Chains A and B, each alone.
Chain A
Amino acid sequence: MWSFIHKLGSPKWFYGISARLMPWFWVAAAVLIAVGSVWGLAFAPADYQQGNSFRIIYVHVPAAFLAQSIFVSMAVAGVVFMVWKIKVADMAAAMMAPLGAAMTFIALFSGAVWGVPTWGTWWMWDARLTSMLILLFLYLGVIALRGAFTSRDSASRAASVLAMVGVINIPIIKYSVDWWYTLHQPASFTITSRPAMPTEMWLPLLIMVLGFYSFFIALTLMRTRSEILRRESSKRWVRELAVEER
């Protein structure tokens, strides 16, 4: 177990294993997102109340899921980095933050655009909307904090701590719709019960969610590989690699 963790923590080992895993996640992401998009946009039936504007759900929900999952991943990586001093965890966390911010922005933007025809407003200081906006600021805070230090170690520690503290916002986002029921509807999907919509509506949504998760994994692997080379550029194996690849 311990040797496995330390192996996983070795940048060189991670660089090798990620090269083999990454293509599968890219293929999965491309296929799932393509199938989910065509199905969701053209084949899923229109909602009997919302008409075709409900098709925004197929980008809104996956983006909102990822926005939260990426922050949790960043916090977990922060713990792994702080407790076990595993550098790869910190590199992955650093590479995740911009994608998390992008996903949060997509969730907020698509939600605002969806709100106009369904709620008659693009924004309200509803608990869910506000806590998602805070999530966006937390992401921007983590990114800014990393850039604010000249010492890499201080930057990594500060960003890890902010991620670990900021993760408290995630359960607040999740339960905001139950605690303060104002505008945003509660979750349409729970693990315990069947979704309250027909199969031909939720199946493409599930496919999109899986596609977005694959995209997140593939992109994080790819960017972490770049970050490894950047940070370990004076190591012998990286220098040999630089000669081979040219």
Chain B
Amino acid sequence: MAFASFAEFIAMGGHATYVWAAWGVTSVLLAGCVLHARAERRQLMRSLARRERREQRLAARRGEATMESHQSGGES
């Protein structure tokens, strides 16, 4: 351990502003990249699933429609 106490560690021998500014900006940007990638993935999966459900609904409705038209076509 290069420091005698926690307070000394925070003070960084008088260079606290510089050290913590550099490390702070780095941590924020790295964390931001991870959060962005996760949000991107989540949003994408949600929109893909939503589109898939809509297409399935449409397909089902179309299926019913053709069945009905076949039935009515058969009766006449």
A interface residues, Cβ below 8 angstroms from B: 33, 37, 41-46, 51-53, 55-56, 59-60, 63, 98-99, 102, 105-106, 109-110, 113-114, 116-117, 215, 219, 222-223, 225-226, 229-230, 233, 238-239, 241-243, 245-246
Total A-B pairs, Cβ < 8 A? 97
What is the size category of the interface that chain B forms with chain A?
A: 20 to 34
Interface of B is mostly: helix
The residue of chain A having its C-beta at the shortest distance from the C-beta of B40 within the complex is A226
Q: How far is the CA of A198 from the CA of B10 in the complex (A)?
A: 24
Inter-chain contact B48/A238, CB cutoff 8 Å: yes
The residue of chain B having its C-beta at the shortest distance from the C-beta of A99 within the complex is B33
Q: How far is the CA of A22 from the CA of B64 in the complex (A)?
A: 44
Please pick, from A222, A230, A243, the residue contacting B37 in the complex, using a CB distance under 8 A: A222
The residue of chain A having its C-beta at the shortest distance from the C-beta of B21 within the complex is A113
Inter-chain contact B18/A116, CB cutoff 8 Å: yes
Find residues 13-32 in chain B having any chain A CB closer than 8 Å to their own CB: 13-15, 18-19, 21-23, 25-26, 29-30, 32
- Residues of chain A with a CB closer than 8 A to B22's CB: 56, 59-60, 109-110, 113-114
Inter-chain contact B18/A113, CB cutoff 8 Å: yes
Q: In the complex, how many angstroms separate the beta carbon of A53 from the nearest chain B beta carbon?
A: 4
